[in-house]
Amino acid sequence: MSIKLVFLFTLFSFSVLGDGDGNSGKYPIVVSTWPFTEAVRAAWRIVDSGFSAVDAVTEGCSACEELRCDGTVGPGGSPDESGETTIDALIMNGVTMEVGAVAAMRYVKDGIKAARLVMEHTKHTLLVGEKASAFAIAMGLPGPTNLSSLESIEKWGKWKENRCQPNFWKNVEPLHSCGPYHPKGNMDLGVAACSQENLMGIIESSSSHIGLHNHDTISMAAIDKMGRVAVGTSTNGATFKIPGRVGDGPIAGSSAYADDEVGACGATGDGDIMMRFLPCYQVVESMRQGMEPILAAKDAISRIARKFPDFVGAVVAINKNGVHAGACYGWTFQYSVRSPGMEDVEVFTVQPLNSSCNLICNK
């Protein structure tokens, strides 16, 4: 009798522990960067009624585009240097490893739907610029649409008045006007690439452009009732970016990654830096090697922080058991989760890794 009791008690405590961690270990589950709770609710309704993870992230990211989450997703935000808003988006099916993405897409507001059209109706992975817009419109999305808003135009006007500061240029002259910019000195392009600053290995950061109210990306992961994994991202990029700039948003492995056998990851932050490290690919591969989500997330962020101590960013990881965790650096990060054990979407807060102890005491 006592053996049976111990056995029951053991089962019971495991399930209690699991709930205490916020991980019920059951599908479906939806995870998103930031407190984008309406987007997560929209995705949850889809997976909870039996539709696929791909459908869920499409619906969730679409909701964020329509709500213009933080002004950094969908139309009407993040004007570039010429005042225009463009869209970057990606979707990935972790069952087939198919990816569809659009980058610097003009005149079309439905980023995630355009990305899905690329994934499902072409053999390509990424379409860019005006050609991406033409594709999306030809495939039935509304457009051409003016993606500017009164707010984005006003913001851009103020930036122009402030002599176009801050901006994303470096090693250029004139330093204190709105351009046109030229490489500093009389160097040709080849010499400029080997400028003294680069030789000295000084690493510059554009993190000052990313603030608490410039969250910059929705990156969402879903696991549906059948255990299928998908991720989606959508953003209008960095405010006052140089026209043509594409960030981490539409880059598979950087802003998001999904593999049915392992789990998924979503990222947000200083995309120009993060895309050099493919942090979400790193997170998923670490989990494949057996690392828990929390360690995989911290490891991916630490790798970037060691090279760019001023960068700002975060990742959220989820494995096939429904265990989720986040890690961040340079700012406090929040991510949203909806799983069967929850009454509604729950928001988790993650404290930044501590650089003063070389990121080791956080491990």
Ligand X SMILES: *[C@@H]1O[C@H](CO)[C@@H](O)[C@H](O)[C@H]1NC(C)=O
Binding site for ligand X (CB under 6 A): 146, 148-150, 153, 354, 356-357, 361
Q: How far is the CB of 326 from ligand X (least distance, A)?
A: 17
Q: How far is the CB of 210 from ligand X (least distance, A)?
A: 19
Q: List the catalytic residue out of 33, 86, 217, 268.
A: 217
| Closer by beta carbon to ligand X, 141 or else 153 | 153
Residue 344 is given by DSSP the state: S
Contacts of 186 (CB under 8 A, 6+ apart): none
Q: Virtual CA dihedral for 276, 63, 221, 76, nearest 10 degrees?
A: 10
- State the helix-helix crossing angle for 293-307 and 279-288, rounded to 10 degrees: 140
| Closer by beta carbon to ligand X, 148 or else 195 | 148
CA distance 51 to 28: 10
Q: How far is the CB of 82 from ligand X (least distance, A)?
A: 12
CA distance 322 to 320: 5
> In terms of Cα–Cα distance, which of 178, 213, 200, 199 is closest to 81?
178
> In terms of Cα–Cα distance, which of 248, 244, 182 is closest to 210?
248
Residue with tokens 């981490």: 248
E strands present in 187-323: 218-223, 229-235, 256-259, 263-269, 313-319
CA distance 256 to 232: 7
Cα-only R_g, the chain: 21
Q: How far is the CB of 109 from ligand X (least distance, A)?
A: 12
| Closer by beta carbon to ligand X, 153 or else 187 | 153
| Closer by beta carbon to ligand X, 13 or else 146 | 146
| Closer by beta carbon to ligand X, 37 or else 148 | 148
> In terms of Cα–Cα distance, which of 243, 244, 281 is closest to 262?
281
Annotation says 122 is catalytic: no
Residue with tokens 């003016």: 146
Q: How far is the CB of 206 from ligand X (least distance, A)?
A: 23
DSSP sequence for 302-335: HHHHHH-TT--EEEEEEETTS-EEEEEESS-EEE
Residue 242 is given by DSSP the state: P
Structure tokens at 243: 């026209």
| Closer by beta carbon to ligand X, 94 or else 313 | 313
Q: Which residues are catalytic?
A: 217
